[in-house]
Amino acid sequence: MTNPLSQDLLEALDVRILAIQRTEAGRWWNFSNVISPFSRLWLILDGEATVRHHGRTFGLQGGQLHLVPLFTLHDCKCSGRFNHYHLHFVSRLATGIDLLSSLDHDFQIPATAGVMEQFQRLEVLYPDRKLPCFDPAREDYRRYPLSAEHTEHVVPAVDRFEATAIIMLLLTPFLRSARGHQGVHSRATQQFFAVQEFIHAHMQERILLGDLARVVKLHPTYFSDSFHALVGVRPLEYLMQLRMERAQYLLLTSRASVKQVASEVGFPDAAYFTRAFARWCGKTPTRYRATYSA
């Protein structure tokens, strides 16, 4: 299968560092049912641990890089000692969708020469991006990603430019293995990028099928049929998916009430939002927040 990444797609990438630090973990590094609105990249220096996701258990040992994409439910465990660098980041396209959510790729690869120096350089560029704690269940850990993003503007532009280049170098081996999966994000990105951009810009507003069709200058019926044929779902169903994913992010990273989250993702009626979220995610917004934030 050909690699789905294009130069235009990668040039539009917005990478943001949320945390970068070196940690020597012990038996306390034992967490289950972790799900986060950011990606993790670990450089294992020495020691051993395991992480389980995507139906597989990976052994983590020295000299490896391991990538856990955002919103990946995973368990991690250390029975002794685990010395590693960990980088938390987001890598969003112009559409607001994270690049890694639209791809299949390898999760674990050997670390090449110079990788440790790249992590060390990121620490120099972002000396204050340290996690407040290591327990994903604690509130200060859950709120940290949003606060880190909000302070991104204070980082000098040239430092952000260098950090983005370093992360792209670190991600390149994973992206070389990338292949478009059967998920709708991959197919929608390839065929209807402008529609994704429109949804991202107008998420809080009422969006009709005709609004999306006008973006690509097609008759609504023809647009809907074409979108369905290429992406696999109808445009309004895809719109609902983007809204539900944004709602998950807000529920995990902010103190916003369910009513506020509903409004942020285009639902003026909080009760209707709650029903829609429960159908989509299998849990009400309140239960989702309690399950993955506690």
Q: What CATH number is attached to the domain comprising 258?
A: 1.10.10.60
- Domain shared by 90 and 107, yes or no: yes
- Domain shared by 250 and 226, yes or no: yes
Question: Average pLDDT, stretch 122-139?
Answer: 89
Residue 99: which pLDDT band, with cuts at 50, 70 and 90? confident
141 near 133, Cβ under 8 Å? yes
Name the phi and psi angles at 38, rounded to 5: -150, 160
**Domain contains 211:** yes
- Domain shared by 196 and 75, yes or no: no
95 has pLDDT over 90? no
Q: How many residues appear in the chain?
A: 294
**Domain contains 251:** yes
- Domain shared by 115 and 40, yes or no: yes
**Domain contains 1:** no
Beta strands, E only, 26-111: 30-34, 39-53, 56-61, 64-68, 74-77, 82-92, 103-104, 108-110
CATH number, residue 97: 2.60.120.10
Number of domains in the chain: 2
What is the tens place of the pLDDT at every residue in 218-251? 999 999 998 888 778 899 998 998 899 889 888 8
Task: Show Cβ contacts of residue 148 under 8 Å, excluding neighbours closer than 6 positions.
Answer: 16, 17, 18, 19, 129
**Domain contains 2:** no
- Domain shared by 108 and 149, yes or no: yes
> Residue 131's closest CA among 123, 291, 118, 46?
123
Lowest mean pLDDT among 37-51, 95-109, 207-221: 95-109
Task: Write the CA distances from 195 to 31, 212, 243, integer angstroms.
Answer: 38, 6, 14
Question: Average pLDDT, stretch 114-131?
Answer: 95
Which pLDDT value is given to residue 275?
A: 95
Which pLDDT value is given to residue 86?
A: 95
Which pLDDT value is given to residue 122?
A: 97
- Domain shared by 176 and 192, yes or no: no
- Per the structure, the complete domain to which residue 69 belongs is given by 7-180
Residue that has been written with the tokens 């685990």 in this structure: 82
Residue 112: which pLDDT band, with cuts at 50, 70 and 90? very high
Which pLDDT value is given to residue 37?
A: 79
Residue 9: which pLDDT band, with cuts at 50, 70 and 90? low
Q: What percent of the chain has pLDDT over 90?
A: 56
Burial of residue 28 (number of CB atoms within 10 Å: 0-12, 13-18, 19+): exposed
- Domain shared by 199 and 168, yes or no: no
pTM: 0.74
22 near 82, Cβ under 8 Å? no
- Domain shared by 27 and 168, yes or no: yes
Which pLDDT value is given to residue 3?
A: 54
Question: Average pLDDT, stretch 54-81?
Answer: 94
- Domain shared by 153 and 204, yes or no: no
- Domain shared by 209 and 138, yes or no: no
Which pLDDT value is given to residue 287?
A: 92
- Domain shared by 172 and 189, yes or no: no
